[in-house]
Amino acid sequence: MESPMAKFRTLLIAAAIVSLGVPASAQTSTQDIAPDMPGLGKNQRAPQKRADQPKKKVDEKEYDAALKSIPDAPKKVDPWGKLR
């Protein structure tokens, strides 16, 4: 007669083995799972809206301006330089 803990351990090991055989659906596209389901397939991107294009250019200009406003870093100091 098995103890309840041994039965639970057996059930837990069996569940772990079964779960390893199931494919991870997060790593597959929706077209692999259900081809008739609407959604993005492999290597497909959502079409960009034309209204996003000018905003993207403005964001790039702001980014470049922010990069130019960052001062140059001072010369790097090697704290172990004298000990080497």
Which of 43-47, 49-53, 78-82 ranks highest by mean pLDDT? 78-82
Share of the chain above pLDDT 90, in %: 25
Q: Under DSSP, is residue 15 helix (H, G, I), strand (E, B) or coil?
A: helix
pLDDT higher than threshold 70 for residue 43: no
Predicted TM-score of the model (pTM): 0.29
